[in-house]
Structure 1
């Protein structure tokens, strides 16, 4: 049998089969994380209101300036539509930048990967609005002057100050959106896509001048001008601080260097780093950092990895060591297995909501596969729960692929956690996260954790496998806000 319940508590069985659910029903206990969850949902609602309000405010700028009174002809109608589309499109672009700025309030409210998901979803609408802005303006101005849209566009490029920058901006926006498409992105290495994506900042920068030099909406001395300047400057400041200045300060503050690289399994290593003020990074189990190892040929490779253990303190001022566990997946990660002692390390973060901050229930279930087991090991070490309130399920083809399983077993024995090892080949032709034998015996999540619908479920592993776990959890009655899965993205 490939399903093994490890004897982590005196009541645990090593028979190899999931235990049957108890017939007794314990008295319900108030979830101590309910208040935390309610506050996070309120913050989510607040962010949603702010986002929609910002778009409405952009259109209100034009209305407050008497824009509707200019619609007295077909030419005026096209021009008005172009102005409104441009204002809304630019506002969405600024929202996209804020979602990608790694602002702590946003990250701790909706999580890093969800922020990037919304960032991506806004890409096409903002581009369509900006394209509509250009086309409608060309049509409206052209109709007023008796010219066709192409001729009017050429005139705008040649005769209107800063308008050529707007055309350059549009070309850059198109390049960014096209390279963000999944089908296109997969054809290029991450570094190529990342460099092209930086064109977003150039696109925004080149789009701003004509907004203030063309037309009267943002004329000098108007409150509309000050409002638009404020949101542009605030967005730029957030980007510079959280994407550039804060990572530099964190790197200087912690002064991390590689202490040792130790083998865990074939192609898998622990990278132990030494630094100071590591107490500021404690208690982040499950959240991830972006690491850059400052060695020749490696410094420009960003690596998103979670800690696989809490920092160990060995001296004053938070001095100690911290650890990540890395698997050789080719490309940039292969070089990490050969890091030399003393290599300096730059870091950004922590990011994400795969942590206690996402908890909604007293009970917790952690399900990991392959290298995805390692963030759960750190979460197991730090997240609060009482004896019997947690279960851990580890999935791998063999016991050797259950990385850090010995450490996890010790933590489970110490904290009274039920631990399952699920090993064996995949079930061919079925969408399942379980090994073949478990599928044949009709097992599901409730076979291992009968009361899973009353628990938070943390899932970490390959994308397709994780999707199958989440589907099984939903089928078992686990609400969406109790299922926590996060992609570690840049």
Structure 2
């Protein structure tokens, strides 16, 4: 174990309790935007039901059969609304990304999956019961009749099957059994499920009849969702790839199993200031072009010439077959890029003071954030964690940045103690050290954490125990 203070904390001028905080305003605006998005979420559900009721939908509750049918319609409307919201959360819309972060948007997306499926299943079952009661048929016979006799209804039943496949393959226990590419291909069925669900909404019954507010509302919602997906998931990445014209310039060994990939391209100053936000990279080489890699920059773009051409860098570790192939990339390989995404950047700041904690390959986004996020000398602490000094990747660069910017740097190396839940090496843990041991002002700091999931959770728990509020904690997960 080795715990070493590498850059002493410089003296900091005393600030009055009411000293200006340049990040307070942006933090309040972000919270206000999050509240507004939450209101819009609930408003969309309320609007779906309110428009149906305004069109006389509640009259269906006058009979038992009508009650089942009416409940089936309500669950179908709510379920479809949740599905469209899920698609918007996965569309990588900048407003959502900058407000809650990419990982939290996808977490909410996943949480909506089961309720949406249950509502859609309830829609099918309740409609079959209601229609069957009105026609003197059991639900199964009614479903068969709907499949055979009613236009577009068979597409709706196929849609339910596709939604079931998507939700089942999204369960953690299931998706971890398959490679990302298989899960991603199956997940594309969501779009097929939505497309097959839409026709029966407009062709069956008078629910979305010509001239009704409901018809215009759902048409607008479907068109806006589709447009957002096409632009942010397809058009924008293609435009960014052509705009920046990235090519691999060299691959530099950093440590065993770790390399830095330098790329050159145009207008890279537009990517500057992204801090620890991540991009999705596709290296357009045989066997690699179809594999997306979510990596953060490990250094801000630099070396801009008169023609606007510069260089940027990512640092990657061999964590599987896909990332292992990157070490053999050839000079001149073209690169497609999407992003930046996430909230692991200055946009998440709420305090003057900042603490950055990184482990393993998670150190590289910390290095980029350290380079770009503003702070006064003495107002930043950087903690790097690894089993050995060789695992403190880019450590020399970080040391130089800390010296230049006046940040305090700690290297914590060694194995964790057996049977103890901690993020610290054995010696530090046995000595009773905590996060506050390395920065006594951590309770009034923004804390950025990047590293393996279980380790990061220990750091976050330690920060909370030191009085750090959740709004000050910034940890972005890159798992799928």
| Fold match (TM-score > 0.5) | yes
User: Which residue in the other structure is 1:283 paired with?
Assistant: 273
CA deviation after TM superposition for structure 1 residue 217, in Å: 1.3
Q: Give the aligned partner of residue 196 of structure 2.
A: 206
Partner in structure 1 of residue 123 of structure 2: 133
The answer to whether residue 51 in structure 2 is matched with residue 64 in structure 1 is: no
Q: Give 1:489 deviation, angstroms.
A: 4.8
Contact persistence 1:9–1:413 (CA under 8 A): no
Gaps of 5+ in 1: 12-21
Residue in 2 that maps onto 1:5: 5
Give me the whole-angstrom Cα distance separating, in 1, the residues matched to 2:7 and 2:150.
77
Given that 1:8 and 1:409 are in contact with CA atoms closer than 8 Å, whether structure 2 keeps it comes out as no
Q: Which residue of 2 aligns with 1:95?
A: 85
Does structure 1 retain, via aligned residues, the 8 Å contact 2:262–2:314?
yes
Once residues 147 and 73 of structure 1 are traced to their aligned partners in structure 2, the CA distance between those partners, rounded to angstroms, is 16
C-alpha distance in 2 between matches for 1:268 and 1:383: 25
2:42 corresponds to: 52
Residue 263 of structure 1 aligns with which residue? 253
How far the C-alpha of 1:318 sits from its partner, in A, is: 2.8
2:397 maps to which of 407, 412, 416: 407
Cα deviation, residue 26, structure 1 = 5.5
Describe how 1:144-293 pairs up with structure 2 within 5 A.
144-293=134-283
Q: 1:27 aligns with which of 11, 16, 22?
A: 16
SS in 1 for 2:456: helix
Structure 1 residues 315 and 106: alpha-carbon distance in aligned structure 2, compared to 1, 3 A threshold: same
- 1:14 corresponds to: none
- Which of 317, 342, 348 is equivalent to 1:358? 348
Given the alignment of the two structures, is residue 310 of structure 1 paired with residue 300 of structure 2, yes or no? yes
How many residues get paired? 479
What is the distance in 2 between the residues matched to 1:285 and 1:236?
A: 30
Distance in 1, matches of 2:15 and 2:206, equals 69
Q: Aligned with 2:328: secondary structure?
A: coil
Q: Where does residue 450 of structure 2 map in the other structure?
A: 460
Query: Which residue does 1:19 correspond to in 2?
Result: none
Alignment of 1:100-139 (within 5 A): 100-139=90-129
Distance 1:454 1:199 in 2: 46
SS at 2:474 equivalent: strand
SS of corresponding position for 1:337:
helix
Partner SS state of residue 422, structure 1: strand
TM-score, normalised to structure 1's length? 0.96
Matches of 2:60 and 2:261, distance apart in 1? 65
Whether 2:478 is the aligned partner of 1:488: answer yes
Cα distance per residue 1:320-346 (max 9 Å; x no partner): 100000000112101001100000000
Equivalent residue for 1:381, pick from 351, 354, 371: 371
For residues 116-162 of structure 1, what are the alpha-carbon distances to aligned partners after superposition, in whole Å with 9 as ceiling and x for unaligned?
00000000000000000000000000000010000000000000000
In the TM superposition, what is the alpha-carbon distance from 1:215 to its structure 2 partner? 1.1
**Is residue 359–residue 482 contact of structure 1 (8 Å, CA) maintained in 2?**
yes
1:221 CA displacement: 2.1
Instruction: State the alpha-carbon separation in 2 of the partners of residues 180 and 40 from structure 1.
Output: 30
Report the CA distance shift for 1:9/1:364 in structure 2 as closer, same or farther (over 3 A): closer
Q: Residue 441 of structure 2 corresponds to which residue in structure 1?
A: 451
Is 1:368 matched with 2:358? yes
- After superposing the two structures, state which structure 1 stretch, 426-435 or 315-324, moved more: 315-324
Deviation, 1:224, is: 1.4
In 1, Cα distance between equivalents of 2:9 and 2:195: 60
CA drift at 1:9: 5.6
Are the counterparts in 2 of residues 8 and 412 from structure 1 also a CA contact under 8 Å?
no
Offset of residue 62 of structure 1: 1.0
Hey, what's the Cα distance between the residues in 1 that align with 2:7 and 2:268? 34
**Structure 1 position 38 matched with structure 2 position 28:** yes
CA drift of 1:317 comes to 4.3
Point out where structure 2 has 5 or more consecutive residues left out of the alignment.
none
What's the TM-score once normalised by structure 2's chain length? 0.98
**CA distance in 2: counterparts of 1:5 and 1:305, whole angstroms:** 29
Cα deviations by residue, 1:34-84 (Å, 9 ceiling, x for unpaired): 111000000000000000000000111210110111211110110000000
**Superposed displacement of residue 223, structure 1:** 2.1
Q: Does structure 2 conserve the Cα–Cα contact (< 8 Å) formed by 1:68 and 1:80?
A: yes
Alignment partners' CA distance in 1, 2:281 and 2:242: 14
Q: Do the aligned residues in 2 keep the contact of 1:289 with 1:351 (CA within 8 Å)?
A: yes
The CA distance in 1 between the partners of 2:154 and 2:7, in whole Å, is 71
Instruction: Tell me the residue number matched to 2:73.
Output: 83
How has the CA–CA distance of structure 1 residues 276 and 25 changed in structure 2, closer, same or farther, with 3 Å as cutoff? closer
Structure 1 CA distance for aligned equivalents of residues 31 and 108 of structure 2: 17
Paired residues of 1:78 and 1:137 also in contact (CA < 8 A)? yes
